[in-house]
Amino acid sequence: MENAVLLMSGGLDSTTVLAWAVDKGYRVYALSFDYGQRHRAELERAMILAKRYAARAHHSIRLDPLPFCRSPLTGAGELALDRSRSEIGHGLAESYVPARNLIFLSMAAAFAEKLPARAIMIGVNSVDYSGYPDCRPEFIEAFTRAANLGTSAAFDDNAFVVHAPLMRLSKAEIIRLGISLGVDYGETVSCYQADSEGRACGHCDACILRRDGFAEAGVADPTRYI
Amino acid sequence: MENAVLLMSGGLDSTTVLAWAVDKGYRVYALSFDYGQRHRAELERAMILAKRYAARAHHSIRLDPLPFCRSPLTGAGELALDRSRSEIGHGLAESYVPARNLIFLSMAAAFAEKLPARAIMIGVNSVDYSGYPDCRPEFIEAFTRAANLGTSAAFDDNAFVVHAPLMRLSKAEIIRLGISLGVDYGETVSCYQADSEGRACGHCDACILRRDGFAEAGVADPTRYI
């Protein structure tokens, strides 16, 4: 079995990647990050789901919130609610967090060096929505190159590979993939302001994109709403 | 004045970059990292030097030590001492910390987005010694590309520039540059196991490379040794 480090938020996408990775035979080490996000419910959720879907281990890593505090996700201003798809799709995401995936992937690379592992997995996708610069294929490719030049991988023949198996899938296709792998999406939480029991608001951008995905997949939405 | 985010360890190199940046007219925000390193004296030292050499602000950012704990610098095993230059120069540095500059630069990019700033500064150099993959020009170039594709810089016309003004300088040339800018190197601490007063051991790789630099520069070594 090959080791893999998986970035795990407890949402729909990363849980699908976990099920995919375990199905492929990887021994998965899931990493979550406590960076001062308002949706802290995702940390407990990630831990539960990592266990449920057979990750070998799950670690929650604390990050000093200082560099992140410009985003509505970390307390700067209010989240926009009930936006249309065209509003959501315009420009930089309203809920963009500065350099988040760059930092998360960098921490994953460090942890992977320690294990050791050379597979890093992330649930980004850019089909339905590309307002997050750090969810696009050109960024993942550039990060992989930087990690292979700036770590011990530069001194051996065993390069990092960043797996982003959802990159080219729509939300509806991701949901169909996950269901084929036995994922119960009622257990996952995507909402930016989920309550302490993991129930979703139904109004933030993440809720809207998720709900549309279930509709497009022709699957009943199992999300627990407040 | 243009804002710049500077990675600041309190050592010879980063202090020289600070003096260089202030001389060039940048408004410098210095960032240090508390990642469980054994040479914690550098954090207080960085704060003092940031003030002395006119940084606008200095922040010390805590990082969960979990991903880093494979290195002798963070407590895994003993530091090698009194090694020859050929031993020091062979392969991956003995004191390499997994993905350290990748993580530090990523955090700097996040903080720079918040300020905002597009200049990031780092005191890496690869002339005397290239055993740190994350101190080489090809890594800095690859990181810059990843940061520009994976942050809000991808959505505007204002790209990150990573300044590594010492990259092509030998340690002796760095020392001469710093002295021309008024740096008192007796205040800087490079040692991996400096004591609580910032005095150096004289035997670790960092001490050996630093001492050789003063000798090659023809400058009296002002380092305070234990």
Tell if the CB–CB gap between B102 and A92 is shorter than 8 Å.
no
Tens-digit pLDDT profile for chain B (226 aa)?
Answer: 999 999 999 999 999 999 999 999 999 999 999 988 877 778 889 999 999 999 999 999 998 887 776 666 666 677 778 888 777 777 788 788 899 999 999 999 999 998 999 999 999 998 766 789 999 999 999 999 999 999 999 998 899 999 999 999 999 999 999 999 999 999 999 998 888 888 999 998 889 999 999 999 999 999 999 9
A67 inside domain: yes
Percent of chain A with pLDDT over 90: 70
Q: CB count, 10 Å around CB of B30?
A: 29
Give contacts of B77 with chain A, Cβ < 8 Å: none
**CATH number of the domain that residue B138 is part of:** 3.40.50.620
pLDDT at A71: 66
Enumerate the β-bridge partners of residue A87: none
A84 inside domain: no
pLDDT tens, A201-211? 999 888 999 99
Given B66, B91, B150, which is nearest A155 (Cβ)? Answer: B91
Mean pLDDT over A93-115 rounds to 92
Tell if the CB–CB gap between A102 and B151 is shorter than 8 Å.
yes
Between CA B13 and CA B15 the distance in angstroms is: 5
Tell if the CB–CB gap between B102 and A136 is shorter than 8 Å.
no
Query: Average per-residue pLDDT in chain A?
Result: 91
A85 inside domain: no
Q: Which of A107-111, A153-157, A167-171, B181-185 has the lowest mean pLDDT?
A: A153-157
Q: How far from chain centre, in Å, is Cα A172?
A: 16
B178 inside domain: yes
pLDDT tens, A134-146? 999 999 999 999 9
Give contacts of B147 with chain A, Cβ < 8 Å: 99, 102
Between CA B194 and CA B202 the distance in angstroms is: 9
Tell if the CB–CB gap between B106 and A99 is shorter than 8 Å.
yes
Burial of A194 (C-beta count, 10 Å sphere; 0-12/13-18/19+): buried
pLDDT at B34: 92
Q: CB count, 10 Å around CB of A200?
A: 25
pLDDT at B75: 65
pTM value > 0.80: yes
Query: Binning pLDDT at 50, 70 and 90, where does residue A87 land?
Result: confident
Give contacts of A29 with chain B, Cβ < 8 Å: none
Structure tokens at A21: 């990775």
Sequence length of chain A is 226
Task: Tell me the shortest Cα–Cα distance from A47 to chain B, in angstroms.
Answer: 17
Give the range of the structural domain holding residue B170, as residue numbers without chain letter: 3-77+97-184
A161: part of which helix (H) or strand (E)? strand A161-163
B213 inside domain: no
A124 inside domain: yes
A219 inside domain: no
The most confident of the ranges A153-157, A195-199, B102-106, B128-132 is B102-106
Given A70, A110, A142, which is nearest B146 (Cβ)? Answer: A142
Q: How far from chain centre, in Å, is Cα B172?
A: 16
Q: Compute CA distances A90 → A86, A87, A206, whole Å.
A: 6, 6, 15
CA dihedral (A23, A17, A6, A14) in degrees, to 10, reads: -150
Specify the number of domains making up chain B.
1
Q: How far from chain centre, in Å, is Cα B204?
A: 17
A76 has a pLDDT exceeding 70: no
Instruction: Specify the residue for token string 């699908």.
Output: A16
The ipTM value here is 0.93
Structure tokens at A185: 């999406």
Given A114, A133, A134, which is nearest B67 (Cβ)? Answer: A114
CA dihedral (A18, A24, A26, A27) in degrees, to 10, reads: 60
Alpha helices per DSSP H over chain B: 12-23, 41-52, 85-88, 100-114, 137-149, 171-180, 205-217
Enumerate the β-bridge partners of residue A33: A61
Cβ-contact A134, A124 below 8 angstroms: yes
pLDDT at A96: 85
Give contacts of A133 with chain B, Cβ < 8 Å: 149-155
The residues, any chain, with a CB within 8 Å of residue B109's CB and separated by 6 or more, are A98, A99, A102, B120, B147, B151, B160
Q: What is the DSSP string of A25-92?
A: T-EEEEEEEESS-S-THHHHHHHHHHHHTT-SEEEEEEB-SGGGTTSGGGTSSPPP-S--HHHHTSSS
pLDDT at A13: 96
Proportion of chain B in helix, strand, coil states, percent, rounded to 5? 40, 10, 45
B139 inside domain: yes
Given B98, B147, B152, which is nearest A113 (Cβ)? Answer: B98
Contacts 24+ apart (CB under 8 A), B196-203: B196/B41, B197/B41, B197/B224, B198/B41, B198/B44, B198/B45, B198/B224, B199/B224, B199/B225, B199/B226, B200/B224, B200/B225, B200/B226, B201/B81, B201/B225, B201/B226, B202/B226, B203/B81, B203/B82
Mean pLDDT over A118-124 rounds to 97
